[in-house]
Each structure stands twice: as C-alpha cells, then as structure tokens.
Amino acid sequence: MSGGWKIVKTMGNKITKINPLEGVAADTAGAFTLFFTEILRVPVSTTHTISGAIMGVGAAKRFSAVRWKVSLRLVWAWILTIPVSAVLAALFYIIFGWFGIK
C-alpha cells in the first residue's frame, strides 16, 4: 500500500516512455488478458499483466525503447515472489504453532 507510487512511476516512466495512445493499447491488452484468464480460471497478477503489456507496447514501437534491465529486475521479482512467500508462510505457521496460536 505504501509503495504504490513506486509501481506507478516504474510502469509509466522506467520501463519505457509511453504516450496516451500507447497507454490505451497497453490497458486494452491488459484488460483482455485479465478477462481471458478469468474465463479460464487462471490466477494472474494485474501488475504482471500490465507490466507485460507496457513492455509489449514499447517493443512494438522499437525494441530498444524498452529498458530491459528494469524489465529483467521486474521478472526476477515475479519469479522470487512465490517461493519467498511460501517460505515466509511456512515460517510464520511454525512460529504460531510454537505459541499455540491456531
């Protein structure tokens, strides 16, 4: 909640510079992706979806328009989110169990 402004800044400026038309294209692609995955009952992250759409818009403009180092850092964060969250959840479960919290 407190880092939301950083997400907006990264999406709007750091991945690639986008103009309003490119923003509409990215939002439309993101919305379509979320709609389609909902039909298939596939859980996806809205942040991941719009990030990918923004990268796609930037790459369509010209491949070098995307700051791939920033994008790679985002991808690593996505990859690490699930296992790190799983380990933390297991640790908290064990700690709560020691104190008899159920």
pTM: 0.72
Q: How far is CA 49 from CA 38, 77, 83, 84, 91, in A?
A: 13, 14, 20, 20, 29
- Closest of 66, 23, 63, 31 to residue 49, by C-alpha: 31
For the chain, what is the mean pLDDT?
86
Q: What residue ranges do the domains of the chain occupy? A: 4-98
User: How far is C-alpha 54 from the geometric centre of its chain's CA atoms?
Assistant: 11
Percent of the chain scored above 90 by pLDDT? 35
pLDDT tens-digit map of 10-22: 676 778 888 889 8
pLDDT tops 80 at residue 44: yes
Q: Return the pLDDT at 36.
A: 94
Give 92's pLDDT tier (boundaries 50, 70, 90).
very high
Q: How far is CA 5 from CA 1, 10, 52, 68, 82, in A?
A: 9, 9, 19, 21, 23
